[in-house]
Structure 1
């Protein structure tokens, strides 16, 4: 059985702003209660997800290397933007990059909402590690790269046909 693949076009990226922007959320309800600002001109969100450390040990009896799963790293992502540092969302991301102490909440919405429903949404608690400028060559817009280091297990909420 195969599902319906969702195209990237229409995906939107938000950063939490306001009083609870840096509250470490763990549930859908906590994330939904936040105030969100859309980050403008996203070109690519990059890959992210759980990766486990490989733990190995060697036993004398069979002369083999044995493997286990160790600690989990929730990953990182590099978000590519057409650079608009004065845009409300990009300014919020840029400010978050200057905060050395606190992770911010982020939201990604796919363009897969059923008629009258809600889209698949992924919530992240992540440090904004950088906001860098990429000038590139001819026939390119000036871009920005935003580095995110995810600090907690992402919360994914499936698309739903009830708003």
Structure 2
């Protein structure tokens, strides 16, 4: 089986924390993120083998009940996606910078996976909703052509897209701030 990620977003922080506990007890999954999300929501992201993530998601949706506002089940994710969500991706070569901004956390996660599969780029980070009004955004780097191709592939069928940009030669100070 392939590596997958699943996300459950709830309107209640208390129910979110409880749901997280049920999800990680339901299957052999890694807890990638469990945190509050602006404005006053709670998000749980788990990763692991596809079957285990499906089982954890089913339990999360059941336990979250009427307070679940968004879910995402993404099988066969690119190997860079989980480290980018966990903010542990290593950026060895600095190049052009691409940014994809979304009104939805789920949309940002999907776009990051699409971008990483579309071109030879490095995901810097997938930011998920905290202190940014519940939005999600993706930063990535690589040579200019690859970054443009990745951003275009991700924006092609994207939902809830706000804006994208490609910075061909970012200043070192900007790049340092993104890491």
TM-score (normalised: structure 2): 0.28
> Which has the higher Rg, Structure 1 or Structure 2?
1
The structure where strand makes up a greater share of residues is 1
Bigger relative contact order (CA 8 A; separation at least 6): 1
The structure where helix makes up a greater share of residues is 2
